[in-house]
Amino acid sequence: MKSRDSLIRLKRFQAEEKRRRVSQIEGMVAEFSRMATDLDREIAAEEQRSGIADPAHFAYSTYARAARGRRDNLHQSAGELRQQLEEARSSYQDSLEEVTRAQNLEGREKASDRMSDLGRDIESIGLRPQGA
């Protein structure tokens, strides 16, 4: 019985770790999106200030060009994190199902133990189960 409790605690711990991972990835995606939005504003402000909005123009702002590169990298990283997020959510869901299975197994064992105890109690007072 002790090993069953340990197994359930382990499964709960693993599920909690996976939930934290999901939360962490969600936070990173949100932060990358916020940073990309900030860069979009900075790029627009720089293009307005310089009067040149075409990145192919020879006099296009170096700062705006660099900010575009950073923004594009953030979008790419956020996309990769979204893929990881889906995998992490799936793993978390699987882990929750494992916890549920372990808890159900423990419940069935406890019910079986109670039935055995009841059978012994019935026999100890001199009654016989039906059909015996």
Domain CATH number, residue 40? 1.10.287
86 is in which domain, residue-wise? Answer: 2-124
Phi, then psi, of 12 in degrees rounded to 5: -65, -45
Q: Helices 62-124 & 2-50, crossing angle to 10 degrees? A: 160
In terms of pLDDT, which residue wins out, 4 or 92?
92
For 9-65, the pLDDT digits (tens) are 999 999 999 999 999 999 999 999 999 999 999 999 999 999 999 999 999 999 999
- Long-range Cβ pairs for the range 24-33 (8 Å, 24+): 25/81, 25/84, 25/85, 25/88, 26/85, 28/81, 29/78, 29/81, 29/82, 29/85, 32/74, 32/75, 32/77, 32/78, 32/81, 33/74, 33/78
What's the whole-model pTM score? 0.73
Amino acid 105: pLDDT: 80
| Candidate from 18-27, 73-82, 93-102 with smallest mean pLDDT | 93-102
Residue 130 lies in a domain: no
- Is the confidence at residue 120, as pLDDT, over 70? no
Residue 85 lies in a domain: yes
The structural domain count of the chain equals 1
Residue 132 lies in a domain: no
